[in-house]
Structure formats: structure tokens, C-alpha cells
Amino acid sequence: MLRKNVRALRMSLGMSQHALARAAGITPAQASNIERGKSSPTLDTIVRIAITLGVGADELLSDGCPILPPASAPAAATSGGAGYSIDGMDRLMSKIAAGAPGAAVPEYELAGIETIARGVCIRGGRLLVCRAKGAKTCYLPGGHIEFGETGRQALVREMAEETGLAAETGRFMGVVENSFLQHGKRHAEINLVYEMSVPGAGAKVKALESWISFSWEPLDGLDAAGLLPEAFRALSSGARDFAC
């Protein structure tokens, strides 16, 4: 529930992820990962996000979280600040101690059909790919398109958040639809694909997030690299357009 509540409350306030990150004292990448269910924020982070959004930390983790935050944040019960209550925090700590889903380590929740912007960056016969550390498969760099963004804007933002690099997008290469099972449930995504370039000829791309890494894979080795969706492996035979 955490990721859904954070996103719903942020959007109801007309607040961008970057604005939320600044106000809560976290990085834009952390804010993005929390809303995507790919981060397990600490209790301190949860409290700071709740205060920023004008709700209690216990509400932020519950099914009954108000979609619209109250007009004025509740008075602080202690020096913890707005959105903090002793009873609420006691309930939160009980959830964490009991290991309840949706507490400090929220279960990953599938989002139906996701729309993702991805970049094809080829340099010296090698393709830039990203993978979760320890994973046997990899994927094209990019990420989810936020409300109000174009695919190009989302790709540039995601690259900045994940690598610190100022990526540039080229021509639109097409769309790749993908459907697969994840955690036993059907999952689907629509990938908008763009040519992309990053600064630094031949330089290693360093990830700013601890759970992922980037590498340059030879175009003739995309099968061995485990590139997904498999449609992108057509890049090894010179494909430069996608429509599937």
C-alpha cells in the first residue's frame, strides 16, 4: 500500500517526485523507487514522507489512507512534527515488529499495464544494458513514464536519476509490448523505444542506485546476456525499428 498511497497523495497535491524528494530530504531516485515498489524505506524516511504529505505515518501504510490530505496537518503530539502521533507510531512499530506486509518492507504490488520509456545506446558494437545485481537477465535503460511527461522526458529523467548522466534522445524506434508472469501473476508493459546517447566515449556507466548495475554488452551476445524482452535481441541483427 505504501507506494500507492505516496503516489496518490503526491498527485492530489500537484507535487512532482522531485518536489517530494526535496521536501522529505531524500533523493529523486529514492522517491521514484518507493512509488515503484522497488525500495524498502526506513522508518525515518516513511515518517518524513508522511509529514511532507500531511498524513500520519500509520495512515500512509494503511488501506484507509485518505486520498486527499487534510486541509491542515494534525497537531504534533510531540516534537516529531506534523503528521506524527504517539498512537499512530505505536501501531506502526507493532506492524514492523510483526513483519506485517506493507510495513517497513512493502510487498511488491503489480500495477496492471505499465508504460516505460527505454533507450537504445550503441557504441562500438556494444549495447548499454541495465540489470538488477545478481540477476541473469538484463534490460534496456529507462523507466516508468510519469503523468505529464513525454517518453523522451521520462527517459532523460530516469538516466539522470540512475546514472547522473545527461542523456540525449534520438529518433523514436517504435513500441514493444510485453506480457509475462511475475510472482505468479500476469504482468504487462508497453515500451516506448528511442535512440539514446550518453556522454563519455567508451566510459563505464556507474549506477547511482545500489541494486542495479550497467554494462556494455556486445551486439552479437544479447542472447547470452539475457536481454528482455526478447524482441530487443533483434538489435544484434541490425534491427532499428520495433512494432510488436
Express each pLDDT in 163-217 by its tens digit: 999 999 999 999 999 987 766 777 788 999 999 999 986 679 999 988 899 999 9
What is the β-pairing status of strands 113-120 and 122-123?
Answer: unpaired
Q: Is the peptide bond before 229 cis (omega within 30 degrees of 0)?
A: yes
What is the reported pLDDT for 243? 75
| Shared-domain flag, residues 122 and 83 | no
Residues 19 and 137 in one domain: no
- Give this prediction's pTM: 0.58
Q: Are residues 73 and 137 located together in one domain of the fold? A: no
Q: To which residue does cell 523522451 refer?
A: 152
The answer to whether residues 23 and 79 belong to one domain is: yes
Domain membership flag for residue 106: no
Of the candidates 98, 132, 154, which is a domain's last residue?
A: 98
In a domain, 124, yes or no: yes
Give the pLDDT confidence of 72-89 residue by residue, as tens digits. 333 333 333 334 444 444
Write out the DSSP string of 152-202: HHHHHHHHHHHH----EEEEEEEEEEEEEEETTEEEEEEEEEEEEE-SSTT
Q: Return the C-alpha cell found at 213.
A: 548495475
- Per the domain annotation, does 185 fall within a domain? yes
Strand order across the 126-132 sheet: 122-123, 126-132, 212-218
The verdict on residue 118 lying in a domain is: yes
- Structurally, how many domains does the chain consist of? 2
Cα separations in angstroms, 30 against 33, 38, 142, 204, 209: 5, 9, 15, 23, 9
Taking the mean position of all CA atoms in its chain, how far away is CA 36?
Answer: 4
Same structural domain for residues 71 and 133? no
Residues 222-242, mean pLDDT to the nearest whole number: 94
Q: What is the mean pLDDT of residues 116-142?
A: 94
Domain holding 203, by residue range, is 113-243
> Does residue 136 sit in the same domain as residue 91?
no
Mean of the per-residue pLDDT values of the chain:
80
Indicate whether 58 and 165 sit together in one domain: no
Most confident among 7-11, 86-90, 201-205, 225-229 (mean pLDDT): 225-229
In this structure, the answer to whether residues 130 and 234 fall within a common structural domain is: yes
Question: Is the domain of 54 the same as that of 158?
Answer: no
Q: How far apart are CA 16 and CA 54, in angstroms?
A: 15
Residue 105 in any domain: the answer is no
Clarify whether residues 129 and 234 are in a common domain.
yes
Residues 128, 237 within the same domain: yes
Residue 107, domain member (yes or no) = no
pLDDT band at 9 (very low <50, low <70, confident <90, very high): confident
CATH number at residue 86: 1.10.260.40
- Whole-angstrom distance, CA of residue 118 vs CA of residue 120: 7
Strand, coil or helix: 120:
strand
Look at residue 33 and tell me if it is in a domain: yes
Q: Which of 12-21, 59-68, 136-145, 151-160 has the lowest mean pLDDT?
A: 59-68
Rg (CA), the chain: 20
The pair phi, psi for residue 28, each rounded to 5°, is: -55, -35
Q: Is 108 within the bounds of a domain? A: no
pLDDT for residue 109 is more than 90: no
Nearest CA to 21 out of 13, 12, 11, 31 is that of: 31
Please check whether residues 136 and 81 belong to one and the same domain: no
